[in-house]
Amino acid sequence: MRTLIVTGTGTGVGKTVVTAAIAALARAAGERVTVVKPTQTGVAPGEDGDLADVARLAGPVGTVELARFPEPLAPATAARRAGAMPVMAAQVVAAVRGIDADLVIVEGAGGLLVRFNDGAETHPPETLADVAAALDAPVVLVASAGLGVLNTAALTAEVLGRRGITLGGTVVGAYPDQPDLAARTNLDDLPAVTGAPLLGVLPAGLGTASPDALLAAARCGLGPVLGGGWSPDRGA
């Protein structure tokens, strides 16, 4: 079983679409795929969350959601305000190790160091980085396209390096139809500031795409490491 961790340079950068695109390519190659969402926030019981979007876009995949909290906040804060038990890194690791699949994708909430919990006397607050380290799984960083992303991408890469976690590369999750100067130059600068390759560029607006359109975009927009045919030489 292969495991990938998907995180972002922030919220709203296209993590769920990138997760669905990776899952769609793996499914098209005949692999069994399960997507794990450790915590879903800002969604009421019974409402569709990110995993429903992944299944709608990618087609039939296994899904595992460990906890959800109604307020659109960081998981630790949302759990605290709901009076609920937060998710612990060990729970996520155990859930992943118990899955029978060819590929497991763990999609985080927000960025790498968003807290799952507030910690305890025996351990500090836990984040997606703790899960990646425990699973020895590479991280795919989903980046926004425009101005400001180089700093957050570089900070994420530095944290991963200090913790001995592999950054497999970066994907721009929602590239605009008419990119400005920052968006264009970021395609060259992201590999430089992260020390990891650019693994793909997906166009904005795929969140409402059909499964066939999502798969076609994934084949054109993600690189061979992720199952597609995109190359940095082709650009966005």
Spacing of C-alpha 216 from chain mean position: 20
Size of the chain in residues = 236
Pairing relation of β-strands 2-8 and 103-111?
parallel
Which among 15, 37, 68, 115 is annotated as catalytic? Answer: 37
Among 204, 201, 203, 191, residue whose Cα is nearest residue 223:
201
Are the CB atoms for 88 and 117 separated by under 8 Å? yes
Exposure on the CB side of residue 131, measured as CA atoms within 13 A = 34
Active site residue 15: no
Q: How far is CA 207 from CA 2, 30, 233, in A?
A: 25, 23, 26
Q: Which residues are catalytic?
A: 37
